[in-house]
Protein backbone atom coordinates (compact mmCIF):
# COMPACT_ATOMS: atom_id res chain seq x y z
CA UNK A 1 0.00 0.00 0.00
CA UNK A 2 1.17 3.53 -0.79
CA UNK A 3 0.05 6.18 1.67
CA UNK A 4 -0.59 9.59 0.16
CA UNK A 5 -0.43 11.98 3.09
CA UNK A 6 -1.84 15.47 3.50
CA UNK A 7 0.17 17.03 6.35
CA UNK A 8 -1.46 20.07 7.90
CA UNK A 9 0.53 21.99 10.53
CA UNK A 10 -1.55 23.51 13.34
CA UNK A 11 -0.98 27.19 13.94
CA UNK A 12 -0.08 28.06 10.37
CA UNK A 13 3.69 28.12 10.88
CA UNK A 14 4.19 25.85 7.86
CA UNK A 15 2.15 25.59 4.62
CA UNK A 16 1.77 21.83 5.02
CA UNK A 17 2.86 19.13 2.62
CA UNK A 18 1.71 16.27 0.44
CA UNK A 19 4.01 13.27 0.26
CA UNK A 20 3.87 9.54 -0.39
CA UNK A 21 4.99 7.10 2.30
CA UNK A 22 5.33 3.33 2.51
CA UNK A 23 3.95 3.22 6.06
CA UNK A 24 1.11 5.17 7.73
CA UNK A 25 2.11 7.83 10.30
CA UNK A 26 1.26 7.11 13.95
CA UNK A 27 0.02 9.57 16.58
CA UNK A 28 3.03 10.79 18.58
CA UNK A 29 5.48 10.07 15.74
CA UNK A 30 7.93 12.85 14.92
CA UNK A 31 7.92 13.97 11.28
CA UNK A 32 10.61 16.05 9.58
CA UNK A 33 9.52 18.57 6.98
CA UNK A 34 12.43 20.29 5.33
CA UNK A 35 14.61 20.02 8.45
CA UNK A 36 11.98 21.04 11.01
CA UNK A 37 10.41 18.56 13.41
CA UNK A 38 6.67 18.13 13.97
CA UNK A 39 4.67 15.73 16.13
CA UNK A 40 1.72 13.82 14.70
CA UNK A 41 -1.48 14.82 16.53
CA UNK A 42 -4.10 12.93 14.52
CA UNK A 43 -4.40 10.59 11.54
CA UNK A 44 -7.70 10.15 9.65
CA UNK A 45 -8.81 8.87 6.24
CA UNK A 46 -9.22 11.82 3.89
CA UNK A 47 -11.01 9.74 1.24
CA UNK A 48 -11.52 5.96 1.00
CA UNK A 49 -8.56 3.84 -0.23
CA UNK A 50 -8.52 3.09 -3.94
CA UNK A 51 -6.33 0.47 -5.58
CA UNK A 52 -2.87 0.54 -4.06
CA UNK A 53 -3.37 4.00 -2.53
CA UNK A 54 -4.61 5.10 0.89
CA UNK A 55 -5.35 8.80 1.42
CA UNK A 56 -4.64 10.18 4.88
CA UNK A 57 -5.09 13.54 6.57
CA UNK A 58 -2.46 14.09 9.26
CA UNK A 59 -2.35 17.05 11.62
CA UNK A 60 0.99 18.09 13.08
CA UNK A 61 2.18 20.46 15.75
CA UNK A 62 5.64 22.03 15.94
CA UNK A 63 7.99 20.49 18.53
Partner 1 sequence: MKEVIELLKQSELFAGLPEDKIQQIVTIGSPRVYGAGDMIIAAGDPSDELYIVQEGLVEVLVSSGPAPDVPGAQEMTAVVQLGRGQVFGEMALVDRGARSATVRCVKSDTQLFVIPRDVFWDLCEQDHHIGYVVMRNIARDLSFKLRHRNLSRGA
Nearer to partner 1, 7 or 28 (CB): 7
Question: For partner 1, which is the closer residue by CB, 28 or 51?
Answer: 51
CB-nearer residue toward partner 1: 10 or 40: 10
50 lies in the binding site for partner 1 (CB under 8 A): yes
Residues 2-21 binding partner 1 (CB under 8 A) are 2, 4, 6, 8-12, 15-20
DSSP per position, 2-48: EEEEEEEETTSSS--EEEEESS---TT-EEEETTEEEEEEEEEEEEE
Beta strand pairing call for 30-33 and 2-9: unpaired
Amino acid sequence: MIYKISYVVLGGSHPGAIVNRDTPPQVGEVIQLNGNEYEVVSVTDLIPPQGDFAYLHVTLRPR
